[in-house]
């Protein structure tokens, strides 16, 4: 083996060792940690949603024909922003839905405006805008019967989902 080959192997071995070794106690890349972080953050969001469903927290709602958040939604946004601040590598997808009152086109526009309003509420709390995407589904994905007021109320909702990695890799 030549001196040049020996040096190359030594440098290669050192590079591999450095990349695999902890930096300040943490691996340079740990996909397992990211998956754990994502799962934990999603569980926290589900717990927040459970508290909303039980009535312990108010729903993220809007007045009729409005994209302005009701003041009672502010504590919920505080909790969601806290989850995102503690998990800065993760991203959030916000999806807003409406009932079927009004035209489909209008409800699509309204749901997008409402989702955007939620995003703006989170960015005011220090969440970087690029880490949030928002979508409006209008009346297209109901969870209840739109023929009753109770069903329409359930269909007028905002959903939060944790997303990992780059947007370009998932969309």
- Domain borders along the chain are 29-170
User: Sheet of 132-138: strands edge to edge?
Assistant: 132-138, 91-97, 158-163
In angstroms, the first-to-last Cα distance of the chain is 49
pLDDT of residue 52: 86
Q: Place 107 in a pLDDT band, splitting at 50, 70 and 90.
A: very high
> Pick from 130, 120, 131, 123: which is nearest to 162 by CA?
131
Q: Which CATH architecture has domain 29-170?
A: 2-Layer Sandwich (3.30)
pLDDT of 146 strictly over 90? yes
Residues whose CB is less than 8 angstroms from the CB of residue 70 and which lie 6 or more positions away in sequence, other chains included: 58, 61, 62, 63
pLDDT of residue 41: 86
How much is the average pLDDT of 136-142?
A: 97
What pTM was computed for the model? 0.74
How much is the average pLDDT of 43-57?
A: 89
Q: What is the pLDDT of residues 1-24, one digit of tens each?
A: 655 554 445 444 433 433 444 444
Q: Pick the residue with more confidence: 42 or 139?
A: 139
């Amino acid at each position: 083996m030549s001196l040049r080959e020996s040096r190359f192997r030594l440098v290669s071995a050192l590079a591999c060792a450095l990349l695999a070794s902890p930096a300040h106690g943490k691996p340079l890349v740990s996909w397992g940690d990211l998956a754990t972080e994502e799962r934990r953050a999603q569980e926290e969001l589900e717990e927040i949603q459970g508290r909303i469903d039980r009535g312990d927290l108010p729903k993220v709602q809007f007045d009729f024909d409005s994209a302005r958040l009701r003041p009672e939604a502010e504590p919920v946004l505080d909790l969601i922003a806290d989850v995102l601040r503690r998990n800065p590598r993760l991203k959030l997808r916000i999806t807003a839905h409406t009932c079927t009152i009004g035209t489909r086109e209008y409800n699509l526009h309204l749901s997008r405006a409402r989702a955007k309003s939620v995003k703006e509420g989170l960015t005011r709390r220090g969440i970087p805008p690029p880490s949030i995407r928002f979508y409006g589904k209008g009346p297209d994905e109901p969870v209840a019967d739109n023929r009753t007021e109770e069903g329409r109320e359930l269909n007028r909702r905002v959903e939060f989902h944790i997303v990992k990695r780059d947007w370009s890799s998932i969309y």
